[in-house]
Structure 1
Amino acid sequence: MSTRTIVIGGGIAGLATAALLAEEGHEVTLVEGREELGGRAGSWEQDGFRFDTGPSWYLMPEVFDHFFRLLGTTAEAELDLVPLDPAYRVYGPPGTPPIDVRSGREAATALFETIEPGAGNRLAAYLDSAGDAYDLAVSRFLYDTYETTAGLRDPALLRRVPQLAPLLTRSLSSHVEKRFTDPMLRQILGYPAVFLGGSPYGVPSLYHLMSHLDLDEGVLYPRGGFTTVISAIERLARARGVAVRTGTPVTSITTDQARATGVRLEDGSDLTADLVVSTADLHHTETTLLPERLQSYPQSWWDKRTPSPGALLLLLGVEGEVPELSHHTLLFTDDWHRNFDDIFGDRPRIPDPASVYVCRPSATDATVAPPGHENLFVLVPIPADPSLGHGGTEGDGDPRVEAAADRVIEQIGSWAGIPDLAGRIVVRRTISPGDFATDLNSWRGNSLGLAHTLGQSAMFRPRNMSRRVENLAYAGTSALPGIGLPMCLISAELVLKRLRGDRTAGPLAEPASVEL
């Protein structure tokens, strides 16, 4: 008999889990509280512009390839992937020339050498180490359910402890600063910590592996935007019989003697199941959908944890071209330590000036903006604090949010040499931590999930099965293995591994052949 399974949440983790379990023979119903799927990887359209509202970097392509192959297809068949050149552009404050960062060992080392003599060879060694750490992470850490410690006790891994220990006990910033002097080069190597929901001063240096992705492997873009990734996985899930119900908020997970029996919906009706998988925000799942006696991670646990930063997002439709911005552009402040202290420190505030990320997908994709216009997605890491307010459209968000957005627009125009940027904006929407809390039930309004500090990584991260409720599983950004679209795909796979009783440290075996 097939297992009746309910998946809570229609983001990438929920859709991926539903697809994998349906492929396994489960009878799956996915329930999503909002009217649209995608979760953090959402989209918004107005006046001919279509904006991604979340992830915008396509990294770790082999993880996507592996996931699609588990379902008998390939990323190449499902997505139109475009390599970006340059991978991204970097600006400092006015007066500093921009830097175009191109992927590939030869280009990256040549760039570093032109900026800091001797840095090219040091970067080559750095990337060798980053690639080794990345291979180790994929083969030993990311796909491990940590149901047992067998993977950690593997003799081959234990022999690596002398090399691993310093990478776990030293911050990424200190690791970089020992090797490079130029401030901009340090920032290029340290900024990936933000992708991990943290600060280069707070994440362990093992995560220097992230530089392997953008500097060695390269950066891709799925033409049509990241909504095409969500649509592809939804398509595969539905093809396997998954019933998808949007506009269906869940108010609680129903149980009988500490065993999950289904979910209660906002309209008061119940859906019964043999297995429940929640991919909703883990804090919301634990502290709202379950009674306190059944919580594996109660509020007292969360009080001692570190969320990822919040985010101020700006979705801007701009008249005319903006060639000063690449597909991906980063603006770095001089006083980086203060910037991160404003976000994570004891007296958090919206940084001013801020380190800013701008995505201009219209540089690569004509479908995201009307002819003669540009699409800009701007992300400013800020404190995870819903009291900062809510965003809005055309400047009608909370005053503090809109004032910060005005400053960021002025900063981009000044630093990137676009003095008339503000006057050319024809569509504007802001999104802030208050919106993340309201729309996504995000803990403290954070934008990504639990930060990847040492104490919140690998075996220290919440597992994919409840310790208190039988037949209740978890996937998503705050569960194993972590933050980002590739991690969410792996998280879905870890649920399947737990159900199979698979305690190996690596990914599941792919089908022998993929028929297209």
Structure 2
Amino acid sequence: MTRTVIIGGGIAGLATAALLAREGHEVVVLEKNSRIGGRAGTVERDGFRFDSGPSWYLMPSVFEHFFQLMGTSAQEQLDLRFLDPAYRVFSEAEPDGSWREPLTIPRGRPGVREAFRRVEPESGTRLDRYLASARRVSDLAERYFLYNTFTSVSSLLHREVLTGLPKLARLLTSSLESHAAKRFADPVLRQVLGYPAVFLGTDPAAAPAMYHLMSALDLDDGVRYPMGGFWELTERLEALALASGARIVTEAEVLCIRTDRLTDRGRSWRHGGRRSRAVGVSWRARGGGEVLEAADIVVSAADLHHTETRLLAPADRSYPERWWERRTSGPGAVIAMLGVRGELPTLPHHSLFFTRDWAANFAAIFGEHPSIPDPASIYVCKPSATDPTVAPAGHENLFVLIPVPADPGIGAGSAGGVSPSALVEHAVDAAIEQISEWAGIPDLGDRIVVRETLGPADFAGDYHSWRGGMLGPAHILSQSAMFRAQNASKRVEGLYYAGATTAPGVGVPMCLISAELVLKRIRGDNSAGPLPVPLRAEVKA
């Protein structure tokens, strides 16, 4: 059996473990923290259960495909509910002090079309064309780009790709912000179409217009929620990995990736010019000694910057520190997890709070002189609107995400059991006041019975996150698709990478795809699209 060590028990690590164990590998997962899940974590306090990371279930076809590779289905593994409304948009007050009516995005294209038409009467047909284009690009991306290892030019030499090159070139060389602005006049409608860039870790003015494909996911497909939250998804991935034979060890901090130098003969063309091969890792249990774990293959699902600059010797680094100096990070985050007494009827499951001056908002996060935006464009999730298990009876569960610069100097929150940073707590206070005023909940602050916070320093400490970012490298053109760090080391044979900081990118669906890309690399599969689904075999998980 192929002995395989996976570093990191987040979504990508668990998914990779499940696929490789099912492939026949002898798999051990080493997770530095006391729990699995990585950024898709959970915090429990006084009867509240908070997802501390992802909360939007998009790209359902990616989840379904992964589960089918494991011999099961999303329906069997998760209790998925469609959200209606999908979300609500609250806007900052006008300069004269008047308030714009919140824009509610319902489930399904007909309702979304009508919502747009009420704001901008001539927008219905334009929205249909916009979403039709988003659907075409989304389908093209899934068939030829997202699951592509880019190890063979022939994987892109398909008629559909070649004939679509002129349009793709236009979408790659213009911004998402300008793409929406050419088609819609209303600033809030433009914001709805531009906001998916934040899910990709970048400014709508810097994200390629190709990413308008994201609008096909929430406006056309609708938004789902897995009952139990994303922690339920994490537990299902863990169960599938264990059922396939993987072993998972928590509180196991990997100290280094061990390599052996290849002989002169070994550095032949057969090894792609690599200088060494992975032979295992050294790790330490909490309070214990160093353990040498031998392996034929090592997969790091940890942050790529940490893997390359801390776990590998300088000669083995494909992406040394000087490479990272030329990269653009996605945003950091201040997160508040709030337990609230009583109901909050103005807030649906998902809410977006948009400031008028978006340019200033994103300049504060990504500009040359970064600062915490004030006011900030924030995201609020109220899973208790759908799931009664996440809060005690008569209470609501709120997850508040405030995008900030990727800077550990902003500090940590309270959830890690340390004294929280004043900057983090001030940002949370401002967000609570903002939600209170914009959503018409004047007594919100007085009704909070549980408050836990996270800051960029928590991401840096808990996940070795590069610059304390919440997502990874931003999806600007030079960091997307074949231009993003890929899933195999250029220097070390038998070393692979999975997760949000490598290809294909950020988000839970991308982490699942990255696991499949690792499997394709190991198999030597150069195909462009998803792997064929095997004949169904029963899984006990």
5+ residue gaps, structure 2, are 94-98, 262-275
Q: 2-side partners of 1:335 and 1:130: how far apart?
A: 26
Residue in structure 2 matching 1:277, options 299, 305, 313: 299
Instruction: Report whether the alignment pairs 1:339 with 2:361.
Output: yes
Task: Specify the alignment match of 1:162 in structure 2.
Answer: 166
The amino acid across from 1:359 in the alignment is C
Deviations 1:212-238 (A, max 9, x none): 000000100000110010100100100
Shift of 1:155: 3.5
Q: 1-side partners of 2:107 and 2:367: how far apart?
A: 33
The amino acid across from 2:454 in the alignment is I
Task: Specify the alignment match of 1:454 in structure 2.
Answer: 477
Shift of 1:512: 3.0
Task: Specify the alignment match of 1:391 in structure 2.
Answer: 413
Instruction: Report whether the alignment pairs 1:312 with 2:330.
Output: no
Contact 1:283 1:302 in 2 (8 A): yes
Task: Specify the alignment match of 2:280 in structure 1.
Answer: 262
Task: Specify the alignment match of 2:147 in structure 1.
Answer: 143
Residue in structure 1 matching 2:512, options 489, 493, 497: 489
Instruction: Say which SS state the counterpart of residue 15 (structure 2) adopts.
Output: helix
Task: Specify the alignment match of 1:357 in structure 2.
Answer: 379
Instruction: Report whether the alignment pairs 1:106 with 2:113.
Output: no
Shift of 1:154: 2.8
Contact 2:72 2:536 in 1 (8 A): no
Taking the TM superposition and a 5 Å limit, the aligned residue runs for 1:344-423 are 344-393=366-415, 396-423=419-446
Contact 2:334 2:404 in 1 (8 A): yes
Instruction: Say which SS state the counterpart of residue 486 (structure 1) adopts.
Output: helix
Shift of 1:459: 0.4
Contact 1:396 1:402 in 2 (8 A): no
Contact 1:105 1:216 in 2 (8 A): yes
Contact 2:80 2:224 in 1 (8 A): yes
Shift of 1:33: 0.3
Residue in structure 2 matching 1:300, options 322, 326, 330: 322
Instruction: Report whether the alignment pairs 1:133 with 2:137.
Output: yes
Task: Specify the alignment match of 1:27 in structure 2.
Answer: 26
Q: 2-side partners of 1:437 and 1:150: how far apart?
A: 39
Instruction: Say which SS state the counterpart of residue 251 (structure 1) adopts.
Output: strand
Runs of 4+ in 1 over 4 A off after TM superposition: 393-396
Shift of 1:396: 4.2
Instruction: Say which SS state the counterpart of residue 5 (structure 2) adopts.
Output: strand
Deviations 1:416-435 (A, max 9, x none): 00111111111111101111
Instruction: Report whether the alignment pairs 1:437 with 2:442.
Output: no
The amino acid across from 1:92 in the alignment is S
Task: Specify the alignment match of 1:15 in structure 2.
Answer: 14
Deviations 1:93-127 (A, max 9, x none): 24111111013221111111111011111000000
Instruction: Say which SS state the counterpart of residue 277 (structure 1) adopts.
Output: strand
Task: Specify the alignment match of 2:52 in structure 1.
Answer: 53
Q: 2-side partners of 1:396 and 1:405: how far apart?
A: 15
Instruction: Report whether the alignment pairs 1:244 with 2:248.
Output: yes
Shift of 1:156: 3.0
Instruction: Report whether the alignment pairs 1:479 with 2:502.
Output: yes
Instruction: Report whether the alignment pairs 1:227 with 2:251.
Output: no
Q: 2-side partners of 1:309 and 1:93: how far apart?
A: 22
Deviations 1:179-207 (A, max 9, x none): 00001100000000000011101100000
Task: Specify the alignment match of 1:65 in structure 2.
Answer: 64
Deviations 1:153-194 (A, max 9, x none): 333311111111110000000000000000110000000000
Q: 2-side partners of 1:506 and 1:442: how far apart?
A: 30
Contact 1:395 1:402 in 2 (8 A): no
Q: 1-side partners of 2:388 and 2:67: how far apart?
A: 26
Task: Specify the alignment match of 2:2 in structure 1.
Answer: 3
Moved more, 488-497 or 386-395: 386-395
The alignment's TM-score, normalised by the length of structure 2, stands at 0.94
Task: Specify the alignment match of 2:264 in structure 1.
Answer: none
Moved more, 192-201 or 94-103: 94-103
Contact 1:326 1:363 in 2 (8 A): yes
Instruction: Report whether the alignment pairs 1:468 with 2:486.
Output: no
The amino acid across from 1:174 in the alignment is S
> Given the superposition, is the C-alpha separation of residues 395 and 298 from structure 1 closer, same or farther in structure 2, using an over 3 Å criterion?
closer
The amino acid across from 1:121 in the alignment is T
Shift of 1:357: 0.2
Instruction: Say which SS state the counterpart of residue 349 (structure 1) adopts.
Output: coil
Q: 2-side partners of 1:341 and 1:299: how far apart?
A: 25
Contact 1:34 1:248 in 2 (8 A): yes
Residue in structure 1 matching 2:313, options 268, 287, 291: 291
The amino acid across from 1:364 in the alignment is T
The amino acid across from 2:24 in the alignment is G
* Residues paired across the two proteins, number: 515
Instruction: Report whether the alignment pairs 1:322 with 2:344.
Output: yes
The amino acid across from 1:475 in the alignment is A
Instruction: Report whether the alignment pairs 1:507 with 2:530.
Output: yes
Instruction: Say which SS state the counterpart of residue 492 (structure 2) adopts.
Output: coil
Q: 2-side partners of 1:99 and 1:105: how far apart?
A: 15
Q: 2-side partners of 1:231 and 1:391: how far apart?
A: 25
Deviations 1:441-467 (A, max 9, x none): 000000011111000000001111100
Q: 1-side partners of 2:538 and 2:255: how far apart?
A: 41
Q: 2-side partners of 1:299 and 1:271: how far apart?
A: 27
Residue in structure 2 matching 1:217, options 214, 221, 227: 221
The amino acid across from 1:139 in the alignment is R
5+ residue gaps, structure 1, are none
Contact 1:395 1:429 in 2 (8 A): no
